[in-house]
Structure 1
Amino acid sequence: MAYIIEVKIHATLIFLLLSLQIFCQENKDFVILTFIEEDKGGRHAASTHYWITKLDSVSAVDYKVPLFPTYLRTEYSNDCLKRCCEGEKIDLLTSTTRTEYNYPEKHIEQSENLLKLVNNNREFLQKVRITWGERKIKRLIKVYGTPIKGKFCECGIYGLSLRFADGKQKVLLPNGKYELIQGFWKSDLGKFIKFYDFSKVNPQNAL
């Protein structure tokens, strides 16, 4: 009987450890890309959109900087954050009976600190100019980058959220404390991202 109980305890501990490995996000290195769109002539107010890349997925050899939408303001619901951190697919734009916005104070504080960190330490990378239509409408997109270390929940998206993901199938949501990666832009990886061509990115991901 004692042997059976001991086996059950060990099995339970193993299950809990595996669950923590699945759902707990590790501290990783990222670059937050800030896209600021402005229409020439001031027809529309400038809009700001945030995207993110994981530095371990960037490759200068393959010339790739995989970008995914991220949201630094608490404009998504708290239940979306919970489900995303549990690895479930979410639709940021559709409300359900489970939708609620009562974030823990800790998450609000961390999100505000992250937004300040990104906006106060962003590095100008490049300008993208776009002209289209018979009226020759001109749009200027300024691209900035901020290298940070911290935790993000990563999950798949579906439904209306896909309209604002530039063809990407997942999103990363902040969920932790963050710090700036010092001296990043002087590194080879930093220089590669700084001169990467972002002109093909459709940055509009506003909720």
Structure 2
Amino acid sequence: MKSKLMLFIAFLTIALFCYSQTSKYVVVTFSAKRGIDKHFVNYYWITPVDSIKGMNFCLYPLYLAEYSSDNLYDCKKGDSINIFTHTVKTAYDFEDGYEQGIEELISLIDGNRTKIQSIKTKWTNKAYIDINVYVTPISGDFCRCFYYKDHRDKFEAWIYLPVKDFSFEKAFWSISAANFVKYANYSHVEYNSHLLHERYVQESLK
């Protein structure tokens, strides 16, 4: 009986670790446009506010689409997921209102973002890339889990999926972590490599 109780406590601890309750986060949006593109494309990354101790903090991919309802369910349990592999249990039967909530989250992020950096790389007049870096402080429930890929290249990395109760955290800009976020150098982040490991923001040269 005691061993069963200890097993349950261990499982509950893991689940609570992976399924974050309402907490404060920073969403970093990399809005990129190549010379051949007509529009900017947004790439969303996220990190907990309490993890920002300096300008070399860590960013994790934030998925706002492409995952299935079973991916979300497994993530909330603390299980590893593989977003781009369909199985017999793959389903898209999200709870009522969930998908609308994600659309509202995207609007919340895009509508309250602050531009902190612009990066431009140019090779020729037509071959270039413009990247605008934006920050949106938010609070909400997110689950954190391992994304794994088991093909020729095996790896696993932390990612975040949104759950519920999202809101804008304007007060973030008055705390010390805001300065680390504003003055960090984002030019080294491989913003479009969502399937790779966590990305550290290298310390700014300023």
- Would you call these one fold, judging by a TM-score over 0.5? yes
Q: 1:110 Cα deviation (Å)?
A: 2.3
After superposition, the Cα gap between the structure-2 partners of 1:124 and 1:44, relative to the gap in structure 1 and judged at 3 Å, is: same
Q: Is the 8 A contact 2:120 2:129 kept in 1?
A: yes
Greater C-alpha Rg: 1
Matches within 5 A, 1:98-137: 98-131=89-122, 137=127
Identical aligned residues as a percent: 29
For 2:168 and 2:5, the matched residues in 1 are separated by 36
Match of 2:41 among 30, 38, 47: 47
Structure 1 gaps, min length 5: 1-7
For the aligned residues, what is the CA RMSD?
Answer: 2.8
Q: How far is 1:141 from its partner?
A: 0.6
Amino acid at match of 1:180: F
Question: Residues 154 and 147 (structure 1 numbering): CA distance in 2 closer, same or farther, change over 3 Å?
Answer: same
Q: AA paired with 1:46?
A: F
- Could you tell me which residue of structure 2 aligns to residue 70 of structure 1? 62
Task: Give the Cα separation in 2 of the matches to 1:136 and 1:44.
Answer: 12
More helix by share: 1
TM-score with structure 1 length normalisation? 0.79
The answer on 1:184 being equivalent to 2:175 is no
In the alignment, the residues of structure 1 paired with residue 122 and residue 26 of structure 2 have an alpha-carbon distance, to the nearest angstrom, of: 28
Unaligned runs of 5+ in 2: 196-206
Aligned pairs, number:
190
Structure 1 contact 90–158 (Cα < 8 Å) conserved = yes
Quote the Cα distance in structure 1 between the aligned partners of 2:194 and 2:129. 17
Maintained 8 Å contact 2:146/2:156: no
What's 1:80 paired with? Answer: 71
Q: Relative to total residues, which structure has the larger strand share, 1 or 2?
A: 2
Q: Are 1:158 and 2:148 matched, yes or no?
A: yes
Distance 1:160 1:148 in 2: 33
For normalisation by structure 2, the TM-score amounts to 0.79
